[in-house]
């Protein structure tokens, strides 16, 4: 079987969620380290403009978004499951809370603490990505108390999940609900003592975080970005199953542009070749790497004709 290739960078919390997935399944994978900011010249032929981190590649199949990556890894490597105790719904709900409520306040708090150490190019890139002006590092630093006030009730909520000192979010076994909650909190552990101190009052949370950390990242081997492009060029996309569209979905054969619903501007265009209740696959052709299938979750993306 073709290698699992993860396009990522070490500091990315969403990429860390996928690295933990690799650890959970005990997988060997290839690591292509991509730039933290645009431009990402060796990623764009594979993703057609999708710039988020991480992206998973298997041959000429490109998987965008950590939720979809989770489904794909679960389908290909069901054992041990990401969803112990029928926990898929719990994981999905926690994913939304962690991504939509916790992630951005967490980033803002962490960034404010290290504002004077962050590369200006990173602040400028993220501001541009969200259609905003780059923040002045001094002003950002001054916002730290207010940003701590914003994350504190969220940390209280997370701690409350462990009020009965349970081992993992869903009970005795670790799974996707844990990785969903863990990755925005992991950001707090690598940004100096002051940021880490924000977690100190939450003992159950901290004990649980150490348990999740022990899952590890599987067996990682570095790969050059050019080799990943070669792997895509030399492969054919895997055959897709019979599509099961519904009235609200894009239809097979539609030419669509795919846009992240949180308005990250770069759209990806292609032809719909597969759709079901929760995912869409488009076919794209790229001058460097040839024909690709690119997979997206439906939730969180707009498919415009």
Binding site residues, ligand GSH, CB under 6 A = 12-14, 51-53, 65-67, 300
Can you name the residues that pair with 280 across neighbouring β-strands?
Answer: 275, 296
Q: Of 30 and 51, which CB lies nearer to ligand GSH in the complex structure?
A: 51
Whole-number minimum distance, CB 53 to ligand GSH, in Å? 3
Is the CB of 66 or the CB of 113 nearer to ligand GSH?
66
Instruction: Count CA atoms closer than 13 A to 203's CA, side-chain side.
Output: 3
Q: Which is nearer to ligand GSH, 12 or 108 (CB)?
A: 12
Q: What angle do CA 273, 274, 277 make, to 5 degrees?
A: 150
Q: How far is the CB of 176 from ligand GSH (least distance, A)?
A: 12
Count the helix, strand and coil residues of the chain and give each as a percent rounded to the nearest 5: 45, 20, 40
The distance of closest approach from Cβ of residue 125 to ligand GSH in the complex, given in angstroms and rounded to an integer, is 7
> How far separated are the first and last CA of the chain, in Å rounded?
34
**Smallest gap from residue 295 Cβ to ligand GSH (A):** 12
Helix (H, G, I), strand (E, B) or coil at 236: coil
Closest approach, Cβ 56 to ligand GSH, in A, equals 10
User: Could you identify the residue written with the tokens 């950002």?
Assistant: 140
Which residues are CB-neighbours of 241 under 8 A, at least 6 positions away?
274
Shortest distance, position 45 Cβ to ligand GSH, whole Å: 16
Is residue 279 classed as helix, strand or coil in its secondary structure? Answer: strand
CB within 8 Å of 109: residues ≥ 6 apart: 144, 147, 148, 150, 151, 195, 198
Least distance from C-beta 52 to ligand GSH, angstroms?
3
Nearer to ligand GSH by Cβ, of 103 and 162: the residue is: 103
Report whether 184 contacts 13 (CB < 8 A).
Answer: yes
Nearer to ligand GSH, 39 or 171 (CB): 39
Can you spell out the DSSP letters for 48-109? TT---S-EEEETTEEEESHHHHHHHHHHH--SS-SSTTTTHHHHHHHHHHIIIIIHHHHHHH
> 23 or 162: whose CB is closer to ligand GSH?
23
Q: Which is nearer to ligand GSH, 66 or 281 (CB)?
A: 66
């Amino acid at each position: 079987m073709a290698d699992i290739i993860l396009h990522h960078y070490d500091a990315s919390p969403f990429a860390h969620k996928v690295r933990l997935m690799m650890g959970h399944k005990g997988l060997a994978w290839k690591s292509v380290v991509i730039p933290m900011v645009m431009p990402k010249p060796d990623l764009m032929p594979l993703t057609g403009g999708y710039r988020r981190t991480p992206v998973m590649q298997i041959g000429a199949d490109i998987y965008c978004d950590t939720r979809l990556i989770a489904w794909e890894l679960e389908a290909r490597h069901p054992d041990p499951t990401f969803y112990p105790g029928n926990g898929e719904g719990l994981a999905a709900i926690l994913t939304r809370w962690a991504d939509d409520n916790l992630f951005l306040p967490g980033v803002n708090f962490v960034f404010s603490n290290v504002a004077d150490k962050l590369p200006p190019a990173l602040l400028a890139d993220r501001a541009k990505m969200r259609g905003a002006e780059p923040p002045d590092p001094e002003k950002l630093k001054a916002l730290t108390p207010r940003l701590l006030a914003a994350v504190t009730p969220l940390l209280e909520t997370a701690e409350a999940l462990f009020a009965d000192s349970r081992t993992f979010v869903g009970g005795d076994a670790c799974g996707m609900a844990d990785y969903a909650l863990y990755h925005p909190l992991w950001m707090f552990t690598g940004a100096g003592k002051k940021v880490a101190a924000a977690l100190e009052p939450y003992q159950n949370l901290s004990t649980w975080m150490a348990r999740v950390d022990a899952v590890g990242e599987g067996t990682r081997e570095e790969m050059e970005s050019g080799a990943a492009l070669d792997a895509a060029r030399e492969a054919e996309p895997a055959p897709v199953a019979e599509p099961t569209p519904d009235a609200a979905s894009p239809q097979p054969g539609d030419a669509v542009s795919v846009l992240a619903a949180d308005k990250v501007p770069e759209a990806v265009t292609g032809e719909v070749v597969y759709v079901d209740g929760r995912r869409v696959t488009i076919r794209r052709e790229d001058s460097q790497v040839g024909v690709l299938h690119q997979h997206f979750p439906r939730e969180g993306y707009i498919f415009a004709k």
